[in-house]
Amino acid sequence: MAKPTRQVSLELDGPVLVEGPVDLRTPDGKVVHSDRFMVAVCTCKRSKTFPLCDTSHRRKVRDDQ
């Protein structure tokens, strides 16, 4: 039986949005579970709740400003 397909959205300069619930495996092997209907996965590694996004990417100063 095929697994259900999950929707994943890539945000420019932001997190990856994944339809939940979801289990996320970190590079050190730890598994983080989220029951939320939409999960924001950190891609900048600034989040204090990594691998979950806490919007820390918004504080980045852009080079062109």
Sketch the domain layout of the chain as residue ranges.
8-59
Residues 18-29 as b or e (16 or more Cβ within 10 Å = b): bebebebeeeee
What pLDDT does 19 receive? 93
**pLDDT tens-digit profile, the chain (65 residues):** 777 788 889 888 789 999 999 999 988 999 999 999 999 999 888 889 899 999 887 776 556 55
Given a contact cutoff of 8 angstroms between Cβ atoms, the answer to whether 17 and 24 are in contact is no
Q: Name the one residue in this structure whose structure tokens are 């420019």.
A: 12
Q: In whole angstroms, how large is the CA radius of gyration of the chain?
A: 13
pTM: 0.74
What pLDDT does 61 receive? 59
Amino acid type, 33: H
